[in-house]
Amino acid sequence: MATVKELKATARPKSGKGAARAERRAGRVPGVIYGNNQPPLTISIADRELRQRILAGRFLTTLVDIDLEGKKHRVIPRDFHLDPVKDFPIHVDFMRLGEGATIRISVPLHVVKAEGSPGVKRGGTVNIVAHAIELECGVENIPQFIEVDVGSLEIGHSLHLSDVKLPTGVKTLAREDATLVTIVPPSGYAEEQKAAAAAAAGGAAPGAAAAPAAGAAAPAAGAAAPAAAAKAPAGGDKKK
């Protein structure tokens, strides 16, 4: 069952920009309750209390019982506006919910077990493609978030909406093949994969050993015949 918070409000009899500015100067945020085939109610809420609710998170998916002068109105926040400079709330809209009403709502996505993913362990990164999912459900069955388990994802693998089990009584308005999360490879991963594939293929078979080189040239012709013997020594002196 969805969590229901309480919020006190004050009736705001006047509408218009001037009345809204007066409420803000008094430390209150102007708002409106509409829907369920009833006339809209202009209200104001203490700035501090509303700001705490917004900063706490999940504001737009939390049911609220607004206590307006002793009468409670079951609503859900549908929109709020912040000051573009000071970032504090300047207006809030609530939709009145009838008993058994069905609504369309955007619910945040929570990724779990990322640290155990094989792809993350190998250097991959979790890439959240869809941060929220559009759902249709009864007002009593609004999930606070949708959990997505990526503990078994490898690099390059993804989880789609069809892989997620939704709570009972909740259906999605998005395509079932919509990608929610994927594991992105690290830098240089593609090059590493190509190199590994090439190594596994082994490339071309190595060629036969080269034929032995032609025999060494015939030994050079023998050395030249030894030089002719030296001249006989010159004859002795003539006899006298």
Class in CATH terms, 104-190: mainly beta
Ranges for all domains in the chain classified under CATH 2.40.240.10:
4-98
Query: One-letter amino acid identity for 31?
Result: G
| HEC secondary structure over 114-138 | HHHCHHHHCCCEEEECCCEEEEEEE
Ranges for all domains in the chain classified under CATH 2.170.120.20:
104-190
Select from 3.40.50.300, 2.40.110.10, 3.30.930.10, 2.40.240.10 the CATH code of 4-98. Answer: 2.40.240.10
Q: How many CB atoms lie within 10 A of CB 234?
A: 6
Strand blocks (E) in 18-70:
28-35, 38-46, 63-68
Q: How far apart are CA 90 and CA 83, in angstroms?
A: 6
Q: How far apart are CA 143 and CA 113, in angstroms?
A: 20
Q: What is the pLDDT along the chain (240 residues), one digit of tens a residue?
A: 567 899 999 998 877 888 899 999 999 999 999 999 999 999 999 999 999 999 998 899 899 999 998 999 999 999 999 999 988 999 999 999 988 889 999 999 999 999 999 999 999 999 999 999 999 999 888 888 999 999 999 999 999 999 999 998 899 988 989 999 999 998 777 677 777 777 888 754 444 444 444 444 444 444 444 444 444 444 444 444
